[in-house]
């Protein structure tokens, strides 16, 4: 018995006439306004119906549909590109809307159950004519009960009705419980990736990507230069004169990764540099901040969090310069990076610690570590959701971007949070090891939820 026949009321076309009937109904559905205005939804519906008629139901899997219908590569990531799930959900909704119309109520039904890509065919119910009952056919009781008998009959009827009602209520409860269990076995659990991004994707407003631009001058052979080189897979360094026109390649990589994910969910977005972004735009919808030392808005919006970026200009070897904090909490901008500078991620619970730091003027090393913040929170000042992917250098920013699109890492984060990440703010400190210019997997150093 096939999976289609297991559904109650389902009908399997067996003859060419049956298949012609299904195709005629399919043509009628896809020509309806709910489908005609789209290219993807009729394309998916036609494919799964034809494969079912050809008895190829076992091939109707998400990856196969992504390759055959939407021309994705065979090894594409179904978590980052859930085009099949999204289109199937939309087809399922539009089929339900189609059959809710009274003029389509008596037609052959094509349905798509949750959790399945195999369509179900349900023939229309046969029309049963109303039967007229003649008064001559109704038996007439000759004896009329006495008043006492009528009272007893009423009491008996009430008890009977009460018992029948109790049984009916119990049956309804049992049916609902069994129904919930039945649908839950087909319901796909929400992924940790969906939990992290859903507060941004459920907004009706476009997502603003606010990207940094290089303002930090680094010495050739310094740790920042080497970390930046490891992230960008390129060792060139531009002159200071055109630094404001340069977006690090690591930031572009993360922007591309994020925007592809957003496009797969059919959500709108716009891209701006931090220099062209004004405060009023941060109140218009969700915001994604990419980069830290090259993005003033990242420094500004994370300055009040437990984990935040800090820096210190140290005295030179001649001792002619006093120590100077580069960007205390709340400062709106960051000057160009001078020699003898430390950058680190500070922890308000341990303000004395500088365990997560990078020196701007330390000489080249074969093994380096960069640090980053990956966070998502509702900003109290704007009321909007903000997602942050920001490292001290480019390799840290890329590590944060990889972490925020990695299902396995986010699943571990969700488990440690003890609940749905879509309902919680979170902030994570990450480290990224760069060995001879090759970046390793992001490692979680610390995390907090609220």
How far is the C-alpha of 255 from the C-alpha of 211, rounded, in Å? 8
Q: Tell whether the model's pLDDT for residue 180 goes beyond 80.
A: no
- pLDDT at residue number 250: 82
Q: What is the pLDDT of residues 58-72, one digit of tens each?
A: 999 999 999 999 999
- pLDDT at residue number 203: 93
Q: What is the pLDDT of residues 395-426, one digit of tens each?
A: 999 999 999 999 999 999 999 998 889 999 99
**Which tokens is 441 given?**
């997997």
**Which tokens is 352 given?**
């004395």
Mean pLDDT rounded to a whole number for the chain: 80
- pLDDT at residue number 213: 81
The pTM of the full predicted model, rounded to 2 decimals, is 0.54
Residue that the structure tokens 């026109």 belong to: 245
Q: What is the pLDDT of residues 100-151, one digit of tens each?
A: 988 998 899 999 999 899 999 998 876 545 444 444 454 544 455 555 555 5
Distance from chain centroid for Cα 397: 21
Q: What is the pLDDT of residues 225-262, one digit of tens each?
A: 556 555 444 333 333 334 445 677 888 889 999 999 99
* Secondary structure letter of residue 127 according to DSSP: P
pLDDT > 70: percent of the chain = 71
Q: Nearest 5 degrees, angle CA 13-CA 16-CA 20?
A: 80
Q: What is the pLDDT of residues 311-352, one digit of tens each?
A: 887 665 544 445 555 554 333 334 444 556 889 999 999 999
């Amino acid at each position: 018995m096939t999976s289609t026949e297991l559904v109650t009321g389902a009908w399997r076309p067996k003859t060419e006439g049956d298949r012609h009937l299904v195709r005629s109904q399919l043509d009628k559905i896809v020509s309806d306004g709910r489908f005609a205005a789209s290219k993807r939804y009729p394309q998916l519906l036609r494919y799964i119906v034809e494969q079912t008629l050809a008895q190829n139901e076992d091939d109707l899997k998400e990856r196969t549909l992504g390759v055959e219908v939407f021309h994705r590569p065979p090894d594409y990531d179904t978590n980052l590109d859930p085009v099949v799930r999204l289109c199937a959900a939309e087809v399922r909704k539009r089929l339900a809307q189609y059959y809710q119309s009274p003029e389509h109520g008596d037609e052959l039904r094509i349905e798509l159950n949750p959790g399945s890509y195999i369509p179900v065919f349900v023939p229309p119910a046969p029309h049963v004519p109303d039967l007229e009952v003649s008064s001559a056919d109704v038996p007439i009781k000759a004896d009329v009960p006495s008043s006492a008998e009528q009272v007893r009959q009423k009491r008996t009827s009430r008890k009977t009705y009460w018992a029948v009602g109790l049984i009916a209520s119990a049956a309804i409860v049992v049916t609902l419980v069994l129904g919930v269990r039945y649908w839950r076995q087909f319901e796909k659990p929400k992924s940790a990736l969906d939990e992290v991004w859903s507060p941004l994707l459920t907004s009706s407003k476009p997502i603003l990507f606010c990207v940094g631009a290089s303002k930090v001058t680094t010495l050739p052979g310094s740790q920042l230069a080497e970390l930046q080189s490891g992230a960008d897979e390129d060792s060139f360094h531009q002159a200071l004169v055109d630094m404001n026109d340069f977006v690090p390649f690591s930031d572009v990589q993360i922007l591309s990764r994020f925007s592809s994910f957003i496009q797969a969910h059919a959500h709108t977005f716009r891209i701006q540099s931090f220099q062209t972004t004004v405060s009023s735009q941060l109140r218009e919808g969700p915001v994604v901040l990419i980069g830290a030392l090259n993005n003033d808005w990242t420094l500004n919006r994370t300055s009040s969090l437990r984990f935040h970026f800090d820096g210190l200009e140290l005295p030179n070897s001649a001792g002619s310069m006093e120590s100077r904090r580069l960007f205390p909490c709340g400062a709106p901008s960051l000057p160009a990076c001078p020699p003898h500078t430390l950058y680190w991620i500070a922890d308000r619970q341990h303000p004395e610690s500088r365990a997560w730091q990078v020196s701007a003027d330390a000489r080249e090393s074969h093994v380096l570590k960069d640090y980053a913040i990956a966070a998502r929170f509702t900003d109290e000042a704007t009321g909007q959701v903000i997602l942050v992917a920001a490292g001290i250098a480019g390799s840290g920013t890329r590590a944060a971007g990889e972490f925020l699109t990695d299902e396995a890492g986010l699943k571990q984060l969700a488990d440690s949070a003890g609940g749905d990440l879509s309902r919680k703010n979170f902030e994570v400190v990450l480290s990224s090891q760069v060995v001879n210019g090759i970046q390793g997997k992001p490692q979680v150093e610390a995390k907090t939820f609220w």
